[in-house]
Structure 1
Amino acid sequence: MHSLTLWLAVAALMIAVSVSQDADFGFGIDDNRERQLELERQREREREREQRERNRAQEIYPGCRDKVADIFFILDSSSSIYIEDYFKQRNFVRSIINRLAIDSRFTRVGALTFSDNYRVSFGINEFRDKPSLANAINDQNIPYLSGATNTASAIRYVRENVPFRNDITRAIVVLTDGYSAAPGATASEADQARREGNYLFVIGVGQYTDEREWRAIASDPDDNFMFNITDYRGLDRLQSTIAQRICSLPPLIINRLQSCFVQGNGADVLFVAGPSGASTALPIIKTLVDNIQAQPGQVQMSLQVSSCSDAENIPLSDPSAYCGPNSPNALDDFITLLRRMRANAAELRDRLRTPNQVAVLFIDDQSMFNRYEISQEARNAVRDGVEVYIVDLGVTQNRNFLERMASRRDAVFSVNDRFGGNLEGRLLRRMCDDLNESPFNVPEVPPSK
């Protein structure tokens, strides 16, 4: 009896120790289990929401019926986005899709995610009906990536590679928390995308106090194309707004560029852009150069651009071959580049006796810092016989100086005049008259990218 009592006491003590150990270490186990359960609950809620959206798949807004449009979503998947919020982005895209007339003849949708780099989720012509497109919004096609926020690279991919249809409504919808790795490059890519005929929507999430990057991406007016919500739960309030707004937009008809055929005894084309304007100027320069046609050696090109080097008196060609971040001219200010252009033009006149010279000056606020000197140097170039054109990259002060720099009052063009026709097309038409001895009619060709 005594032995039995002793054995029971030892057993009770062992059980108590075991319970105590479980209590000591159970918090970590319980925490892990709770996190796993919460993640599973989140996924289950997403599955339930998917099913609800499938049930509502036929609820197309009246304004979206038979709407011919191409829409591409750019979804931020960087480390600053919590995975739970990333799920909300996917649900948002699915909800908008269910309000559209998805069909290869009407509305097409594509998407990509981005962080350090971009990952195409599905192409704009990959799914031709609503059920298959809605089913494509899943973990496999739209995974959570994490990493930095390379918004510029994502917009550039969409602009250069997505096979948008011509002369229809084209919309790019960017969802981001706003902290881009390269705001300047992002603004430049967005500007180029707009000039190519795309509407850009921005949905900025979070308490991002500096909205300049979002405004630089969005089409004008900002009130119609830029949305700021406190957190991702606010996406639910925008589903109807975004779908209806896209469906109400008319196509942006971009004028087809007309190639400039240079005749006569030859010509020189000279471009000038300072450090802050080079990234915006180079795509415009490329489009202009791509559409100037001449016999070999008939037209010389010079790039007095801060990011370019060894680019004087070169054949018409892609400027990117001469330009890059390591250029020795990267820090040269605008007045230095302008003086170099004028000296280069004088050398060409003396050596080659070219009858026609055209200079295009890309001006922004930083370029206007020495506006009196710049204006005087530009007028000197005009007196030398150079036809000087001004491209306003967004000058906000002392705009009256721009007309003083140009050969004529109507030789000033603005990148912000988005509804006045294609900038490159209007500028090239005017340049072509000056590159030739007399204006002439030319056949149409599509604009280059």
Structure 2
Amino acid sequence: MSRTMRTYMLLATLAADSKAKLCGNIADIVFVIDSSSSIWEPYFKQQLQFVQQMVKTFDVSQKKTRIGAINFSNRVVREFHLKTHDSKERVLSAISEVEYTAGDSTNTNEALMVLRTEYFTERSGDRSDVPNIAILLTDGESTLMAETVKEANLNKETGLSMFAIGIGHNVNEEELTLIASAPKADFMYILKNVTELQTEAFTQLISHKACKILKNDTNEEKCTRIVDMVFVIDSSRSIWINYFKQQLEFVKHLVSAFDVGQGKTRIGAINFSDRHMTEFHLNSFDSKEDILNAVSNVQYTAGGTTNTFDALRLLRTEAFSAVNGDRSDIPNIAILLTDGESSNMASTVKEAKLTREAGVTIFGIGIGDKINKEELEQIASSPTSDHMHILESFTELQAGDFVKRIIDVTCKGKELYLHG
């Protein structure tokens, strides 16, 4: 089922009960509004009407929910900051005065940089003890996708919840997926046209999702179980760079679910293709923030072959060793991500067996239609129903239900995880 079809189904579900209750929870919310020339001026004004309808669903004031707005195309217009207006009426009036710039490019990356460095700052009215939410509206793809994804990731790493709403047939779904927070089913939407953006049902849908964030209903329960966990990440050239980055987003989401520290859960990472490298060891970092930054900095190598066996050997002989931070009394877990089959199945199966016999529980996650199911079954620990997963796409890797399933299984305290 496509993202667009899921959105339509949600709209249909909400249509019967579209009268919203006012969200009384508190947040700092910034709207990021596309004003490029590909959007006709009447459609731009419909975006503003959607923003106004959204604002009406919140209890707006400086002591409650604060609202800011950014207008972007080839340049970024700082419409108003979180501290600028102290009432809903003034915010609504300011939105009605936002002007259509008709810029000849879509510099989404610059808008997201301004969002992070200027808007969600104490100087501009951001509050450290209040959830940060951004709602991005666009009708196409950015001029510089790589920079846009980079800036989106930097925003999300600060704890920002990012809604990405694409309108029309020129939207780049892959880019929108990388911009949005996880789970994507809650934060990424593609609409057929601006008319759908203006439906009361869609306004209530986004308001409802945002209000759930305010109540912290979308945060997974943190896993307090202590493990030594190493991620083994496929970087072969069969994976496009943007899909590689989606792997990193998945890794960061899992890391965020654990209580990380040298006296708690430790995290390591290996990157492999025709060559293999340790990105960081279990004892490299002391904090979750440092680990998340390190994951963001993992480089795509685009190697010509997939030497999974070398990565598994490195996992067993170096990553899970005392000198590199492995603890003999703590369960060892490896999460291997790949989009195909290894260059040498016999050697890969052999190394996987040796790794499991050393007490490492291996999760084998295959993405796409090039996966060798037989090989993945022989890599993963038993039962394969828990430890082997084949996904249709990298977008599915970001799905909230899948991420939660992996978190739930890794957080179980089963005897099979213990090693000697």
C-alpha change, 1:235 and 1:268, in structure 2 (3 Å) is closer
Query: How much has 1:119 moved relative to structure 2?
Result: 5.8
C-alpha change, 1:215 and 1:417, in structure 2 (3 Å) is closer
Among 231, 234, 238, the residue aligned to 1:273: 234
| Cα pair 2:23 2:57 within 8 Å, conserved | no
1:411 corresponds to 2:387: yes
Query: How much has 1:76 moved relative to structure 2?
Result: 1.7
Distance in 2, Cα, partners of 1:400 & 1:268: 24
Among 205, 228, 241, the residue aligned to 1:245: 205
One-letter amino acid of the structure 2 residue matched with residue 272 of structure 1: I
One-letter amino acid of the structure 2 residue matched with residue 202 of structure 1: I
Among 305, 310, 314, the residue aligned to 1:343: 314
Query: How much has 1:358 moved relative to structure 2?
Result: 2.9
C-alpha change, 1:403 and 1:332, in structure 2 (3 Å) is same
Query: What is the CA deviation profile of residues 358-399 of structure 1, one whole-angstrom value per residue up to 9, with x for unaligned ones?
Result: 322123xx345869569635445324443212356x545759
C-alpha change, 1:209 and 1:357, in structure 2 (3 Å) is closer
Who is 2:337 aligned against?
362
Distance in 1, Cα, partners of 2:335 & 2:137: 36
TM-score by length of 2: 0.60
Among 184, 204, 208, the residue aligned to 2:167: 204
Q: Which moved more, 1:129-138 or 1:238-247?
A: 238-247
Question: If you compute each CA radius of gyration, which structure gives the higher value, 1 or 2?
Answer: 1
One-letter amino acid of the structure 2 residue matched with residue 382 of structure 1: R
Distance in 2, Cα, partners of 1:378 & 1:159: 43
One-letter amino acid of the structure 2 residue matched with residue 361 of structure 1: L
1:386 corresponds to 2:360: yes
C-alpha change, 1:243 and 1:349, in structure 2 (3 Å) is closer
Among 94, 98, 103, the residue aligned to 1:146: 103
Query: How much has 1:133 moved relative to structure 2?
Result: 0.9
Q: Percent identical across equivalent pairs?
A: 17
C-alpha change, 1:242 and 1:403, in structure 2 (3 Å) is same
Who is 1:65 aligned against?
22
| Cα pair 2:271 2:279 within 8 Å, conserved | yes
Query: How much has 1:304 moved relative to structure 2?
Result: 2.0
Query: How much has 1:121 moved relative to structure 2?
Result: 3.9
C-alpha change, 1:336 and 1:107, in structure 2 (3 Å) is same
C-alpha change, 1:62 and 1:302, in structure 2 (3 Å) is closer
Distance in 1, Cα, partners of 2:348 & 2:276: 23
Distance in 2, Cα, partners of 1:391 & 1:343: 18
SS of alignment partner, residue 178 of structure 1: coil
TM-score by length of 1: 0.57
Query: What is the CA deviation profile of residues 174-195 of structure 1, one whole-angstrom value per residue up to 9, with x for unaligned ones?
Result: 32121234557867959x96xx
SS of alignment partner, residue 307 of structure 2: helix
One-letter amino acid of the structure 1 residue matched with residue 311 of structure 2: R
One-letter amino acid of the structure 2 residue matched with residue 429 of structure 1: C
SS of alignment partner, residue 20 of structure 2: helix
SS of alignment partner, residue 358 of structure 1: strand
RMSD of aligned Cα (Å): 5.3
Query: How much has 1:153 moved relative to structure 2?
Result: 6.7
Distance in 2, Cα, partners of 1:431 & 1:150: 47
Distance in 1, Cα, partners of 2:307 & 2:318: 17
Distance in 1, Cα, partners of 2:73 & 2:276: 29
Unaligned runs of 5+ in 2: 1-17, 121-125, 390-395
Distance in 1, Cα, partners of 2:116 & 2:416: 31
Distance in 1, Cα, partners of 2:203 & 2:81: 19
C-alpha change, 1:391 and 1:236, in structure 2 (3 Å) is closer
Who is 1:129 aligned against?
87
One-letter amino acid of the structure 1 residue matched with residue 20 of structure 2: G
C-alpha change, 1:390 and 1:349, in structure 2 (3 Å) is closer
One-letter amino acid of the structure 1 residue matched with residue 219 of structure 2: I
SS of alignment partner, residue 136 of structure 1: helix
One-letter amino acid of the structure 2 residue matched with residue 97 of structure 1: V
**Alignment size in residue pairs:** 358
